Chains A and B, each alone.
Chain A
Amino acid sequence: MDNLTVKGDEVRHGASLYLDALSGELIDSLGDAVLSEAMLRQLNDGSAPITPLTGAQIARHMKTSGEMVLALRLRADDRCIGACRLGDIGWQGRHALLEVAIVDEAHYTVDMLADAIQTVLQFAYWEANLNRIYVHCAEDNTTLLAALKQAGFTDEGRLRQEVYRDGRYLDKVVCSMLSREWSG
């Protein structure tokens, strides 16, 4: 046993965050205040209209959408600041769509998003044995795009006019990372 490295919880720990079960209690802790317009825009990928939502509603929706949904909690004080999901999993090709929803506006930063993405990647590659993790992002979501770049994702191209907002069409950017490219 002395020669074995037991990763344990380490698999689900990042620099500032850790992944946990998304319990009803944690969802409720996200509060019932409607998020700001700026936050709602950041959390919407453009496939559906932007509507007023609370952080708890967004997390609850992610949980009911199934597959691998986990809470994002701060290591410093255990507070839940959002949720993440590995969905649309193709087990033969070992690929999954990653969605990260940090609903606490004070923590919605490039660095925190990149940390959340890195933590989920660690779980996806080490625990879930996936090969390809991809993200769909509206072209005007500069915070998420910067976080994906910081995390080392590759820009695979743009689905033209796949997003509609403010009376005009925008592109949807597709980014991915393969397990062999990950340096975690």
Chain B
Amino acid sequence: MFAVRTLADDVFIGSCGIVNLNMFTHSAEIGINLSHPDYRGKGYGGEIMLLTMRYGFEQFNLNRISLRVMGFNTRAIRLYEKLGFRHEVREREVFFHDGAYFDQLHMGILRPEWEAAHG
């Protein structure tokens, strides 16, 4: 896990990390948290994702990085699609919130796809 700080003013704005690492299958999940409200909606989320993905592929030598996101979080899903993640599994009724169940989307990107898009 890493803390995320801005280069311009050294402000702590969130965290990111590579979790659920399986070194046998060379796969892991990515997670980010942009917790500082003043820095949301300004492109930092995509930059944090790219830095963490690069760390996973180039330092951990991963073959696959995946993530899980609530199915109704369309803004985040659009960002992940833009970064090259593909829809893989729609896990039905995983979350229970405010009296209703919600689906969870599992998305993934493979090393060749990363290299083609960002290598």
In the assembled complex, which residues on chain B have CB atoms less than 8 Å from the CB atom of A93?
A: 93-96, 101
Instruction: Contacts A159-B106, A161-B110 given; indicate if A131 touches B89 (C-beta within 8 A).
Output: no
A94 at the interface (CB under 8 A from B): yes
Number of residues of chain A lying within 8 A (CB) of chain B: 26
- Complex contact A95–B110 (CB within 8 A): no
B interface SS class: strand
A48 to B93 alpha-carbon distance, docked (Å): 28
Contact A132 B24 (CB under 8 A): no
- Residue B27 at the chain A interface, CB threshold 8 Å: yes
B89 touches A156 (CB 8 A): yes
Report whether B106 and A178 are in contact in the complex, using a CB–CB cutoff of 8 Å. no
Interface check A162, CB cutoff 8 A: yes
A95 touches B27 (CB 8 A): no
Which residue of chain B has the shortest Cβ distance to A155 in the bound complex? B89
Contacts A93-B101, A160-B88 given; 5 further ones with Cβ under 8 A? A48-B24, A90-B94, A95-B94, A160-B110, A162-B25
Q: List 8 A-B contacts (CB under 8 A).
A: A95-B94, A131-B101, A156-B91, A159-B66, A159-B88, A164-B24, A174-B106, A178-B92
Shortest beta-carbon contacts, A-B, top 6: A157-B89, A174-B89, A164-B25, A93-B96, A156-B89, A132-B93
